[in-house]
Amino acid sequence: MILEKLNRTGDIKSLAFQELPELARELRQLVIQTVSETGGHLASNLGVVELTIILHRLLDLERDAIIWDVGHQCYIHKILTGRRDVFPRLRTYRGLSGFPDPNESPADPFRTGHSSTSISTALGLVAGGHPGRVVAVIGDASLGGGVAFEGLNQAAASQANLCVVLNANDMAISRTTGGVALSLTKLIANHQMEALRQHIRSFLTRFPLLGPDTVGLLHKLEEGIKNLLGPAALFESIGFRYFGPFDGHNLEQLQEAFKKILDLSGPRLIHVVTRKGRGYGPAEKDPESFHSTEPFEVETGRAHPGRASEISYRDVFSRALLKMAADRPELVAVTAAMARGTGLEPFRKEYPERFFDVGIAEQSAVAFAAGLARAGKKPVVAIYSTFFQRAFDQVFQEVCLQGLPVVFVLSNNGLVGEDGPTHHGLFTLAYLRSLPGLRLLVPGSYAQLEELLAAALSGSGPTLLVYPKDRGPERLEALDPGARFRLLAAGSLGETAREAVERLRTDGLPVGFIPVGHLKPLDEELLSRAVENAGGLITAEENVQGGFGSAVLEWCGARGRLLPILNITAPDRFVTFGRRRELLAEIGLDAAGIYRRTADFIRSLI
Catalytic residues: 276, 362, 390
The CA distance from 150 to 413, in Å, is 29
391 marked among binding-site residues? no
From the list 378, 495, 379, the residue with the least C-alpha distance to 446 is 495
**8 A C-beta contact, residue 215 and residue 206:** no
The CA distance from 95 to 127, in Å, is 34
477 marked among binding-site residues? no
**8 A C-beta contact, residue 247 and residue 270:** no
350 marked among binding-site residues? no
Q: Give φ, ψ of 382 to 5 degrees.
A: -110, 120
412 marked among binding-site residues? no
First-to-last C-alpha distance (Å) of the chain = 66
480 marked among binding-site residues? no
The CA distance from 231 to 183, in Å, is 9
**8 A C-beta contact, residue 535 and residue 485:** yes
CA of 411: how far to CAs of 315, 354, 557, in Å? 11, 20, 32
Partners of 512 in the β-ladder? 486
**8 A C-beta contact, residue 396 and residue 366:** no
Looking at this protein, which amino acid is placed at residue 479?
A: L
**8 A C-beta contact, residue 133 and residue 258:** no
> Can you list the alpha helix ranges (DSSP code H) found in 289-332?
313-325
The CA distance from 252 to 53, in Å, is 11
User: Strands 439-441 and 518-520, how do they pair?
Assistant: antiparallel
* 352 Cβ neighbours under 8 A, 6+ residues apart: none
The CA distance from 270 to 472, in Å, is 46
Looking at this protein, which amino acid is placed at residue 134?
A: V
Strand order in the sheet with 163-168: 65-68, 134-139, 163-168, 268-273, 241-247
From the list 55, 19, 41, the residue with the least C-alpha distance to 277 is 41
Angle, CA 533 vertex, CA 529 and CA 538 arms, to 5°: 70
Angle, CA 409 vertex, CA 585 and CA 486 arms, to 5°: 45
130 marked among binding-site residues? no
Tally of CB atoms within 10 A around 454: 12
280 marked among binding-site residues? yes
The CA distance from 339 to 175, in Å, is 10
572 marked among binding-site residues? no
288 marked among binding-site residues? no
247 marked among binding-site residues? no
* 128 Cβ neighbours under 8 A, 6+ residues apart: none
CA of 218: how far to CAs of 203, 241, 552, in Å? 9, 20, 75
* 582 Cβ neighbours under 8 A, 6+ residues apart: 93
Residues within the annotated binding site for Mg(2+)?
Answer: 140, 169
Residues within the annotated binding site for thiamine diphosphate?
Answer: 72, 113-115, 141-142, 169, 280, 362
Residues within the annotated binding site?
Answer: 72, 113-115, 140-142, 169, 280, 362
